[in-house]
A and B are shown apart, each in its own frame.
Chain A
């Protein structure tokens, strides 16, 4: 009995082992189902039916919202988008601000408008593209939190981020997104800081980066590279971009 008792004290520890094993087991990285290159298809006619869907996905502008005063003006994509079968798709919602009141009702309407794009067929990721001034950050934090609750659990949430949000700034740390894509183009004076050797300490910014074909940069080593083209994509422009970024 004493012997047994001696062994029993180990039992709780032994029970904890599988819990630790499960808890510490490496989880698949968020968005790991996406290809290593994602091309942005903005509000212009885009013909991307030639891409290799194993290597390239498409993040297309699905909707533009404008927060104007206390209103939320929504405009869906109005331009053609031709895709190859089985293309991995990200629906992008661009949010613009024009003296918004940022009220609770404006927040609810915005969340609802963004959430609707997840109902489009074949969408596993929703990406929000926005420019939050410092005073708008609380609004966007609430937006992302409520959106996360409204989106199906199988839908991932991505945001684009100013490069400066990902380095030094920490406001993205507690927003419930699966990735923040630091934008390494159209950076203004941030350009001299990030263009030649971007480095991002915010954890959510480390898996991906956004670049443009007209502003060559050396992107950091990331799982996914988002590429923007100021003109509609063509086979040539895509191949050039892939070559330039060695993808």
Chain B
């Protein structure tokens, strides 16, 4: 029966395979990130060191914390900078790889010296919780447990020797302890009666630890309490500390109703330790644990406590952990559903600043202005600047303050960028342009690649001529990223081919430049742009093909003809087709151009934004980015402005405005032409329609059958809509009716539904 099913399946597969053509595997889609919005420009070391660029409210809060420290001149020591960078990489890396798997190595290596110790290859450190929480795991055995075990083993081997029975049983018991790390409830037996005091003490500690890792928290605590009360035990002090850890773990993993009382007990035990100088060697660890308990027991208080502490430039060896805790608490509040903004606190300027800087509530504008008025700090100046628009009553005062910020100050890039923005929004374009020109001439060093793109974007919008526009339209991406998760992580060189790596170092059109060229400029201006040789060839090539095809579609034969020399030079592989185009009669010219488009599926009447289409123009793209794919879809999805979808403001190059150097008539023409292009709908439908019309009305030519074949193929490999099936069938029918015995008809056995 299986064979029969297989046979039927094979037949069906063969039938199905016959209907389709195999496509080559295409490249993944890399995105050019021109302006970072989630985190600052890489390398993050520079940000930690104070080169903070234009600070985006949409950055993750740990970056805003670092920005605040620099804006308030607190800065970081080199050690603290490293701590911050470690934290960022750990978070961007989702923490995996930073922790876990090799912790046990130190113990596994140490135990090998004991003669007769059984082989243990690895120890899994994660353990899953009990039902009904069995899908949640926790780190059960931490690195310090293995280090402590290894150190103790070395000490004991020195005393008892590696081949002693005492050490063999010691290792067996410790193996039992660690066998509970991942699962199980193995508890070592009590020490034999003839064991010496040290071995008995060790075994008592091993039994307590085994209970601890087996999640017998009450049992473990009782054992640790007994050891803590045993003045003869070398584990007396450690056990006292572990009583607190047992309470804490019970609060995390035990019954929900006992969580609070366990935390209170942990806090009390830790206070006892921290108040007693006898335990001074344990105080650093106890302090860390107490901080964690406070985080859980008094989260609001701890948030302000951390906010106040982290703002002050004192050497802080716990910086990474404390920033981690602080931002976790902030995130928990601000990303709750609904969000909860911590109330401003006088003693915690940092939290107030971050919350205000990110807030989209109208009252946050007034708060930022009041804070700036009262504190006159760069941090609050940047917050106020980023929140007001050019029409605000205090915009002028803010601009003046922004222009007073010195180039060496960390606030300089943000202050100058917002000064430009506010000048533009208040209609002072000339002042904005002068300021921008000065910045781009003398202060480039103060701006990272992402911030520099923000300036260039503004300068492009302020262009007074087409030539100026073309100077500022091309920009270097701040990075290339797969960005499939929205985290703007730069792609590793090893992940991409050399030609893609080169893209990072080549200017491209960003969103604003693409919109200006594709929608805001009429053909008459685009023609001048295409003939301007100041653009790099890679960009000019894209522009010239776009303008030539646009001219063809819009019926501007003169412009199309005039652009042929440039197109021939930049796309030499089109040369024969362009010769045919020029030689065609006026009536056949459009068909000749349409035929060329069918043969060059990469042509499109718009320029690429960002990385764009990488498949050669004459080849079909595996992902159907052929024959102007974007035309198939409604404008609403095509032109989504990312900055509008974020709840927290980010400043990007996605803001467009009318180009200053265009006349009203040119703007109106551009609008008409864009509407005409949009009215074409999916390009394969348009291509089929044009080819059918020509084939129906003109005498039979050698290219007609091929054009009909290609039109049908375009409905298969182009981007389509609900009308496509109709046009595909019409082209297919005409081909088979009018040219039934041609090779093109034989190559076209099917038409394609949308």
Can you list, as one digit per residue, whether each of B616-634 has a CB less than 8 Å from chain A (1) or not (0)?
A: 0000001111000110111
Contact B96 A96 (CB under 8 A): yes
Surface stretch bound by A, among B125-133, B188-196, B211-219, B386-394: B125-133
Contact B135 A196 (CB under 8 A): no
B748 CB within 8 Å of chain A:
no
Please report the C-alpha to C-alpha distance between residue A201 and residue B16 in the assembled complex, in whole angstroms: 11
Contact A192 B638 (CB under 8 A): yes
Chain B nearest CB: distance from A86 CB in Å? 12
Contact B97 A73 (CB under 8 A): yes
Please report the C-alpha to C-alpha distance between residue A19 and residue B101 in the assembled complex, in whole angstroms: 54
Identity of the chain A residue whose Cβ is nearest the Cβ of B640 in the assembled complex: A191
B148 CB within 8 Å of chain A:
no
Given contacts A83-B132, A188-B31, A192-B633, contact A75 B623 (CB under 8 A): no
Partner of A195, one of B27, B28, B132, B637: B637
Please report the C-alpha to C-alpha distance between residue A195 and residue B492 in the assembled complex, in whole angstroms: 28
Chain B nearest CB: distance from A199 CB in Å? 8
Please report the C-alpha to C-alpha distance between residue A186 and residue B31 in the assembled complex, in whole angstroms: 11
In the complex, chain A residues whose CB is within 8 Å of the CB of B15: none
Contact A66 B135 (CB under 8 A): no
Please report the C-alpha to C-alpha distance between residue A222 and residue B514 in the assembled complex, in whole angstroms: 36
Contact B482 A168 (CB under 8 A): no
B484 CB within 8 Å of chain A:
yes
B363 CB within 8 Å of chain A:
no
Please report the C-alpha to C-alpha distance between residue A82 and residue B96 in the assembled complex, in whole angstroms: 24
A243 CB within 8 Å of chain B:
no
B586 CB within 8 Å of chain A:
no
Task: Tell me the residues in window 61-107 of chain A with beta carbons closer than 8 Å to chain B beta carbons.
Answer: 62, 64, 66, 68, 71, 73-83, 96, 98-99
Contact residues on B (Cβ < 8 Å of other chain), bracket: 35 or more
Chain A nearest CB: distance from B94 CB in Å? 7
A153 CB within 8 Å of chain B:
no
Contact B97 A196 (CB under 8 A): no
A150 CB within 8 Å of chain B:
no
Task: Tell me the residues in window 622-671 of chain B with beta carbons closer than 8 Å to chain A beta carbons.
Answer: 622-625, 629-630, 632-634, 637-638, 645
A115 CB within 8 Å of chain B:
no
Chain B nearest CB: distance from A88 CB in Å? 14
A23 CB within 8 Å of chain B:
yes
Contact B26 A164 (CB under 8 A): yes
Given contacts A76-B128, A80-B133, A192-B637, contact A134 B97 (CB under 8 A): no
Please report the C-alpha to C-alpha distance between residue A82 and residue B30 in the assembled complex, in whole angstroms: 37
A36 CB within 8 Å of chain B:
no
B23 CB within 8 Å of chain A:
yes
Please report the C-alpha to C-alpha distance between residue A20 and residue B138 in the assembled complex, in whole angstroms: 53
Can you list, as one digit per residue, whether each of A133-160 has a CB less than 8 Å from chain B (1) or not (0)?
A: 1100100000000000000000000000
A52 CB within 8 Å of chain B:
no
Partner of A189, one of B31, B137, B637: B31
Partner of A78, one of B22, B137, B485, B494: B137
Chain B nearest CB: distance from A141 CB in Å? 13
Please report the C-alpha to C-alpha distance between residue A66 and residue B359 in the assembled complex, in whole angstroms: 36
Please report the C-alpha to C-alpha distance between residue A77 and residue B625 in the assembled complex, in whole angstroms: 38
Partner of A81, one of B23, B96, B135, B610: B135
Contact A98 B633 (CB under 8 A): no
Task: Tell me the residues in window 457-511 of chain B with beta carbons closer than 8 Å to chain A beta carbons.
Answer: 482-486, 492, 494-495
In the complex, chain B residues whose CB is within 8 Å of the CB of A79: 136
Identity of the chain A residue whose Cβ is nearest the Cβ of B28 in the assembled complex: A133
Please report the C-alpha to C-alpha distance between residue A77 and residue B624 in the assembled complex, in whole angstroms: 38
In the complex, chain A residues whose CB is within 8 Å of the CB of B23: 168-170
In the complex, chain A residues whose CB is within 8 Å of the CB of B335: 231
Contact A189 B484 (CB under 8 A): no
A1 CB within 8 Å of chain B:
no
Identity of the chain A residue whose Cβ is nearest the Cβ of B20 in the assembled complex: A201
B1 CB within 8 Å of chain A:
yes
B29 CB within 8 Å of chain A:
yes
Given contacts A19-B4, A76-B128, A231-B335, contact A196 B633 (CB under 8 A): yes
Further 15 A-B residue pairs, CB within 8 A, beyond A121-B131, A169-B622, A197-B722 = A64-B96, A68-B97, A76-B137, A77-B135, A137-B25, A164-B622, A169-B25, A169-B26, A187-B29, A189-B29, A189-B625, A192-B630, A192-B633, A195-B633, A197-B633
Listed A/B pairs (11) with beta-carbon separation below 8 Å: A73-B101, A121-B131, A133-B28, A134-B25, A168-B624, A170-B23, A186-B483, A187-B29, A191-B637, A196-B633, A234-B337
Q: Sorted from nearest, which 5 A-B pairs have the closest CB atoms?
A: A76-B137, A188-B29, A196-B633, A189-B29, A168-B23
A-contacting residues of B (Cβ < 8 Å)? 1, 4-5, 8, 20, 22-23, 25-31, 94-97, 99-101, 126, 128, 131-139, 335, 337, 482-486, 492, 494-495, 610-611, 622-625, 629-630, 632-634, 637-638, 645, 717, 719, 721-722, 754
